[in-house]
Structure 1
Amino acid sequence: MISFFRKIRKSLSDEGKTGKYLKYALGEVLLIVVGILIALQLQNWNEQHQQEQRFRASLEHVYNTLASEIEGFDNGLEYLQSQANALDSILLLKDSLDPRELIPALFFVTVPPEFGVYESRRAAEDLSYDPNKKVHRELARQISVYASRLVNPARNSRAFDMLQEAGIPLPQESQNLAYGLTIDPNQFEERDFQKLKRLLESDAFIPALKNLKIQFYFDYGRLYSWKTDAESLMKGIRNYYPEVRILYKNVSLIGPALEGWDIDGGRDFPLIETDLDRYIWETKLYLKEGEVKFRCRESWAQNWGGTGFPTGRAQKDGADILIPKAGTYRVTLNLSEGTYRFELAEGE
C-alpha cells in the first residue's frame, strides 16, 4: 500500500503537477492521521469495554456477597429476638421454672454470640473500577462505606461469667438451643441446682441479666441497619447492572433421609432450577425418616436448613430439616423468598 502511494506521488512530481502533488500529499497525511485516530479510538473503546466487563464481574461478586450477608443478618436478628423473648420469660418466671430447664435457658441468653466474618470487606478491596467514571466511583464509594461499617463489637457477658464462676456446667447442646434441641437433664446434679439458687438470690446476677436486654437492643439495631444498608446497595447495583444475578449453582439435597451426610459416605441429590428469575429449584424423590439440608456445589460453604415441616424458612447454615414420615416428596426451594416445601406425592 505504501509503495502504491509512492508511485502516485512520483508520477505527479515527474509530470510537474506540483499543486496536485501537494494536495495529494496533504490528503495522504490526513488519511494516515485519521487512520491513527480511528485505531486509537478503537483501542480506547476496547480498553473501556474490558474495564466495564471487569467492573461488572466485580459488582456481581459484591452482589452475591451482599445477598449472603443479608441471610446472615436475618439469622442473627431472629436469634437475638429469640434470646430477648427467652430473657423476658426467665425474668418473669424464674421462681417457678424447673431448674433443669432454667439452666439451659440461662446459658442460651447469656453466651456471647459468635460474630461472622464479612466477605464484603475483601470484595470492596478487590473491586475493579474506572476512577475516571463518576458512576463507577460512586458505586465503589458506597460499597467501601458499607464494608467499613461491618465491625463486630467486643461483647462480654457478665451474667455468663457469673454462671461459670458459680461452677454451673455448660449444657452440652447449649450452642444449639435456638434450634429447640432437648437438653439431657441427667447432666445436671442437685448441687448444680443449689448453685443456681444461690446465684439467683445474689445482688448482682439479676441486674446482670437485665443489662443483657440493652445489649440485645443494641445488637438488633446494628444488624438491622447493616441489613437495610446491604439491601439498598443491592438495589443500586441492579439499577446500574440490571442483568446481575445471584449465582446459585448445582443446588442439591443431602442427609440421612437420603443416603447420609457426605462425611458418612452419603451423596447429594440434585434439584432442577425451574424458574431462573425467582431462583426456584425443584425435584421429586423418596425420603426416609431423618434429616436433610439444601446446599450448593456439594459444599457446606452455602447451605440452608430450617425448623419447619412441611414448609419453613430456608435459613443459611440453619438446623437440619427433619422428615418425620417416609415417602415420595415433591421438594421446592424458593431462594428468592427464602422458603422450602416438602409435599407428599399423591398416594403416599
Structure 2
Amino acid sequence: MPWGGKPRRSASSIVADTESGYHLLTVHGYSRTKGVPTGERVKSRPFVVGGHRWRIDYYPNGVRSEVADYVSLSLMLDEDEDDLAAAPAVKAQFDIRLAGEAAAEDALAAASVDEFTPGRGCVYTTFVAREELEGSEHLRNDSFTVRCDIVVVRDYRAEDAAVGFVSVPPCDLRRDLAGLLETEKGADVVFDVGGETIAAHRCVLAARSSVFAAELFGPMKEGCSTAAGIVVRVEDMEAEVFRALLRFAYTGQLPETRKEDEDVTCQHLLVAADRYGMRRLKLICEEKLCECINVGSAAIVLALAEQHHCQGLKKACFDFLAAPANLRAVVATEGFQHLSRSCPSLMAEVITMSLGIS
C-alpha cells in the first residue's frame, strides 16, 4: 500500500448466466394409464427451455417395483448427441410439482445443478402416491396436471463489483417511460378510442410497433393535425384495452387485473397485439390463455386462436377438448355455437377428433 495511506480496495463477483421456463403436462384419462406396467413409461411431447429440448417421462405405476404404489416422473434431455457436440452436458436446476401447489421458487433455488446428457435424466421416484393423488383435488375429471420449472445454467462469468463511495442504482427507464405516458408531457398524438381521448408519443410507439410507425410516420399516415397534435381514431376497440396496449408499449408490462378478469383481458389484448404487430405481447397473452382454458371459454379461445393464427393456443384448446367429458360440456355452450358460425373450417377438425375419442 502507499506509504501512510489506506489499502486499495477492489471487488468482483461471479454471475451465473441462466435462462428459465416451465412446461405444463396434463395427464388425461388417468385411470386408463394405470394399466401401464411398472417400470414402463409414457413420454410427453418435447418442449424447449433455455435453447434445449426436453421431455417428461410419466410412470403411472412407478419406475421400479419398490415404488409401484407411486407415480414416478423423470425429466429427460431429449436431444441427439450431435446436438451437443459443442457442449456435451447441459447444466440445469429443475423442480416438478402438481399444478396449483405452492410456488416452486424456493425449491428451485435450493435445487442442485444437475448435468444432463441425452438418455440420462433425473427421476422423482416417489412423486406422489397414487392413493394420495386419487383422493386429492388435483385429480379432476380423471385428469391432473404437473408443472416442471427449469433453469438452464449457460455459463459462469466474472464481473467487477461496485466498491467505495458510489453505488449505482438499477436502470429506471421503465418507470420514467411509464411516467411519460401518465403525465402526457411532450405528447404529440391523440387517439380517439370509444369516445375517450388518450395522448401518447409518436416516437415511442413507432419504435415499438411497425404498424404504429406506418400509421404515424408513413406516407399513408392516418389522422388529422390539430393544435394538440395528430388525432387518430381507433375503431372496434375499448379504451381500457388500448390503454393496456400503450402501457405495454412503454414499459413491457401488462396492467394489474383481477384474477377473474385475466382471461377476458388477455383475449382482448391478444386481438389488439395482433392488430398492431406487437408479437411479444401477443405471445404473452397466448401463453396466459393456454392456462385459462375451461369449459366456458374453450370454444371462444379456439375461435380466437384460429382467427389470429395462434398455433400454440389452438393446440392447447384441442388438448383440453381431447377429454370426452370436456368436449361434451363445451358442445353444449353458446360459445360452441359461435365457433360453428365464425370458424366453420374448425368444425371438421373438432368432428374428426370427437370420432376418434368417442
Common topology (TM > 0.5)? no
Larger Rg: 1
**In proportion to residue count, which structure has more strand?**
2
Tell me the TM-score normalized by structure 2. 0.21
